Structure 1
Amino acid sequence: MFRLFRSDFFNFEALRLLSFTAHEGGEIAEFFTAVARIKDQDEESWYAAWMEAADKAEALATEAELAGNRVAARRAYLRVANYQRSAQFMLNGLPGTDSRLLTASEAAISNFSRAAALFDWSYHRVDIPYEEGLDLPGYVFLPHPSTRLPGGKLPLLIQTVGADATQEEIFYIFPMAALELGYAVLTFEGPGQGIVIRRHGVPMRPDWETVVGKVLDFTEGYATAHPEFDLDLARIALVGSSMGGHLALRGAADPRIRACIAVDPFYTMFDLLKSRMPDPVTNTFVAGGFVPDAGWDYVFGLLGRFNPMTRWEFDFGRWMLGVPTAAQMLRRMQEYTLGTSDGVGFLPRIRCPVLVTGARFSLYSQPEVSTQRIFEELVNVPLDQKEMWVAEDTAEGGLQSKVGAFTVLTTKSFAWLDRMFGIERKIHL
């Protein structure tokens, strides 16, 4: 496959942004102009190039607004938001030390909201009660009346983000496709994610079913308070990609979730370490007691010095998980698992239909390690209600999170979800 950068890190992240050009999240010429100004594995050049692209797109948005061109203004503001989000991405490796991280993130949210105000879909910002003193930010989107499904209430798609994505970014994938197909959508960011960790410093938690439970409590109250929205609480689907796929599987244990789509999830987060470290090193850590924590911090610092991707991942991981050292991060990673100490596992708690996918060229874990195991441990989901799809080619979704093949992902996913929810579609010419 053609490469934009020599390093896997910058190449993948550039492809990630390029993937959104088909969904109003980028413009081809703007994209390649920015890429040409980026030095491989240089975070500062990455930040500067995308912020410059955002500034130029914002000027076009203003021009379109002055001309009364609603569609052009919306598209430009979506690009502004996505470029600003992408710019701050590389700063995630410097958590708490670079004010641009929060500034760019808040600017991206603001510009996404400016675009959303120009959608044909209905858009509502919501605050989801989480813990005392903290609400989780979310969006509720309702489809245009012309795309509503006949004869009933609106099925609801809830999307949880993963490790390094934001709810504004993931809008271009499942939420946008869902709205075009007549689904209502709720997105949210939980602890350790998006603006929640950037603004409040609240780290992630492994028992994501608790977070999803609070989101569902809110959803029930919201549907009652807004009967005019016609939300169908009997048809709620939960979706997530990569780490979000893992979190979605945790949330799917709640019986109020009636279907789950887990895109390229890991079974246990600690497996990700195995793709970054030699087996003897990981085995030594698991055995414990041989190397003091300071020794592990030195090892990871040394590895990061020679590999910017590894350094970024370890720094971001410590921030997201709320721990100060590499050794503590590795211990915390072992808590993010679908296994249990009694050997039974978490997945037997899920009884709703599940679509789980894998990616042959994943940066993190192979399908045999995660996808196959997850599918096999869904023992309480009837065979005709669970499906495994492993993409073997990049054009079919073989990269992590189906980067570069989002249309393929949503086409297959909604065909499956429609079947599970008893939705039949016909094309009328």
Structure 2
Amino acid sequence: MHSETKIQEILRKTLESLKEKEYSEETIRRYRRKFNVLNKLAQNLDIQEPTDKLFSEYLKDCNNVYTGEFSVLKQRQRIRVVNLIRSFIENGDVDTSRKPGNAVTNRIKSERLRTELDKYIRLLVDDEIQPNTICTYKRIVAYLLLYCEEKSYSSVEELGPGDICDFILYLYDHGYFKPTTISSGLSGLKRFLLLYPDIKNLTMELPSHLPRERKIIEIYSEPDIDAINKVLNDNCMTKRDKAICLLLLETGLRAVDACNIKLSDIDWSKEIIYIKQQKTGHAISLPLRKSYGNAIADYILNERPDCKSKYLFVRALAPFSRLEGDGASIRVVLQKMEKLAGISNDARSTGSRTTRHNAASVMLRSEVTMGNISAVLGHHDPNVVSVYLSTDDKIMASCTLPLPGGVSHE
């Protein structure tokens, strides 16, 4: 029998420690895959024990496997893996608490600038801005403060003409943001600059919009839908996961809103689910259709743990808390569904974004009006729904202009 190397032993025991903390089977599988990558790297480098050199080499490769570009998410995941292993080596047990890491706010050295950021965040909270929006605004303003430090400004009020334009380019050049992310943070940046009367005129340098790449959004094909229906009808998934999949596929609900559904939000007599969208703050009422309604009832009656949680969907293992509000748990469920259905998600998005676009596309092909689709998806502006035109190549083709008269088709 082949004996374990020291690194293999440490990885195995770290995984066992995670199991003892009652992490879900899916989470354990994800960490096992990440540990296998680290072990393979150790073999390639002929390293037998966990060393700083091994961890350093592991953290160097943080590029997306499909685009080849640097991925902040992959970097965070790998840092998390290293922190878990280091904690086991030091304490004989894994420390699953989140570390501050190299978050942008922790990189601001100036006490004065940090104070200005804290003051801004308190104002956003007082104005009852949604938490996910606060996170976006906080991040882009934190990078502005880092920019100020690099320019040796002791205060935000030292910003001058041209600095905001240079800052936007700074974000691009350093790969901190994508155009869509910058666009979503511009309102927060403007809000921050308006706090300082002497530089509020710099808001004129903020772009009204940034160029965005529009692609035909990938959705499930008819064979994909047939395979998915077979998986859901064959009870290949747990009752909870089946209910989640049916709910998202048919309603286009965002993952975070599915996680936030409370048991009290379901009115069984009126057959309605009341939803308050986290992103928009708008309230919508979803009809409790037979398909996902029966699946939800089956989950509650026959599988949901007997716990005190007020939320509908909870973890399968203790502690029986709500599924992660950032949508990560929902993404895992949908990926499991796709895998069982034999659907490849290579080079395309997965998760509730796909089910949301898919639900909109189904309504669009059924000739549901854009206004009604907007109402179902909870968009405040009906024009936003026009993006879903790009989910259907036939509809996109029908929107093309004819060639001018006399132009040859050859």
Does the TM-score normalized on the shorter chain lie above 0.5? Answer: no
Say which structure is richer in strand. Answer: 1
Question: TM (normalized to structure 2)?
Answer: 0.30
Say which structure is richer in helix. Answer: 2
Structure showing greater radius of gyration is 2
